[in-house]
Amino acid sequence: MPSTTNPVDRPSEAVDVAQRYQRLERPLSYVVALLVGLVVGAAFLLFSLLQAVLVGLALGALVRIPVFRTSGTARLITDADPETVRADFAGATPPPLAFQWGIADAVHTTDDGATYEFSYLLGLRSTEMTVETRSNAPDGDPDGDIELLVTAGGRPWGTYTASIRQDDDHTVVDVDWTSDRRFGLRRLPQQFVAERYRADALAAQGYTVAERETSLLF
């Protein structure tokens, strides 16, 4: 395990946006679970016990079995110089992961990136997300790509690649990402809400979204 250092201070405005995202995402996720429960309950009233059990199993599998992945591209514009941008993306709080470090219970730096700690179910369960940062640019070179390899609960979660370049009086960042695992349909509300707040989270960190495209892969 990489060694950790002191907890990290996070950009407060981006944390505020991430918390707004969480306040909307969680109720929507609960609504999905409630709807599934209501359908299963209705099945017990309308069908035989065996049929109702089969309906419950089918719905449970439908919302939990991994069926989709996400991928996308974005072009970000910022007034910050390339060195500052590289520091942002290579640091413990990379801009594309604001919804992760923004709602984490704690963020720690590691030898090659960062660790985000989460707790849920009233603190009864916990998990960690780790970010490993790789760069193909020589030391002192502000250009070049930065790759973020993200794992959650010890399993691959997603990969982000940021290409940084100077363009006149601003810096351009081209970001490509893909999820490294499939998710169940119960995660769709999370995806939709994230898209709603993504530009706000980036703007809070000084980045304007010039172009963006996201795909769901089934």
Contacts of residue 135, defined as CB under 8 A and 6 or more positions apart, other chains included, come to 86, 90, 144, 145, 146, 147
How far is it, in rounded angstroms, from Cα 189 to Cα 205? 24
Tokens 């599934």 belong to residue: 36
pLDDT at 206 over 50: yes
Q: What is the pTM of this model?
A: 0.86
> For the segment 68-83, what is each residue's pLDDT rounded down to a tens digit?
999 999 999 999 999 9
> For the segment 30-43, what is each residue's pLDDT rounded down to a tens digit?
787 788 888 888 88
Number of H helices and E strands in the chain, helices first, is: 5, 8
CATH (one of 1.25.10.10, 1.20.1640.10, 3.30.530.20, 3.40.50.300) for 12-33+64-217: 3.30.530.20
How far is it, in rounded angstroms, from Cα 123 to Cα 133? 29
Write out the E strands in 25-112.
69-78, 106-110
How far is it, in rounded angstroms, from Cα 18 to Cα 117? 15
* Closest among 179, 30, 163, 11 to 98, alpha carbons compared: 11
In degrees, to the nearest 5, what angle opens at C-alpha 188 toward C-alphas 185 and 194?
Answer: 160
Residue 34's pLDDT is what?
Answer: 82
pLDDT at 190 over 60: yes
> For the segment 84-125, what is each residue's pLDDT rounded down to a tens digit?
999 999 999 999 999 999 999 999 999 999 999 999 877 778
Residue 137's pLDDT is what?
Answer: 66
How far is it, in rounded angstroms, from Cα 124 to Cα 99? 22
Q: How many angstroms separate the first and last alpha carbons of the chain?
A: 34
